[in-house]
């Protein structure tokens, strides 16, 4: 069984017991988070596709940790002008463990 959820402007395919990193969700370690925006649920041969979401479906996850992602370097340069700028960015992430998928 798996589901496709929408969180942080992105779509993630999740299954029970899976650990994934999503964009930061407010909460502390051990708290439960419910995702109501479930776009698709697949269970054996039964496929439910939402328009845009599956009615009554939800995914429950547990927060494992709040962390920062890998650093991304941003470098801008204009040729022949001697102009350059280097900055960096680290995205805030939440590590989640998916507990259950219910329809």
- Encode pLDDT of 53-64 as tens digits: 999 999 999 999
Q: How far apart are CA 46 and CA 57, in angstroms?
A: 14
Which phi and psi (to 5°) does residue 56 adopt? Answer: 80, -5
The pLDDT-based confidence of 103 (bands split at 50, 70, 90) is confident
Q: Where are the domains of the chain?
A: 2-102
pLDDT digits (tens, 9 = 90+) for 24-40: 999 999 999 999 999 99
- Classify the phi-psi angles of 80: left when phi > 0, otherwise alpha if psi is within -120 to 50, otherwise beta: left
The pLDDT-based confidence of 44 (bands split at 50, 70, 90) is confident
pTM: 0.84
Which residues have a Cβ under 8 Å from the Cβ of 50 and sit 6 or more positions away? Answer: 38, 39, 40, 57
% of residues, the chain, pLDDT over 90:
97
Look up residue 32 and give its two tokens. Answer: 């439960």
Under DSSP, the state recorded for 51 is S
């Amino acid at each position: 069984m798996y589901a496709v959820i929408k969180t942080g402007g992105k779509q993630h395919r999740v299954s029970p017991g899976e650990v994934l990193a999503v964009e930061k969700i407010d909460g502390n370690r051990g708290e439960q988070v419910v995702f109501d925006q479930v776009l698709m649920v697949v269970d054996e041969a039964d496929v439910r596709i939402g328009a845009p979401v599956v009615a009554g479906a939800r995914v429950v996850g547990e927060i494992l940790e709040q962390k920062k992602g890998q650093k991304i370097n941003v470098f801008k340069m204009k040729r022949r002008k001697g102009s350059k700028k280097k900055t960096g960015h680290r995205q805030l992430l939440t590590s989640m463990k998916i507990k259950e998928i219910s329809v």
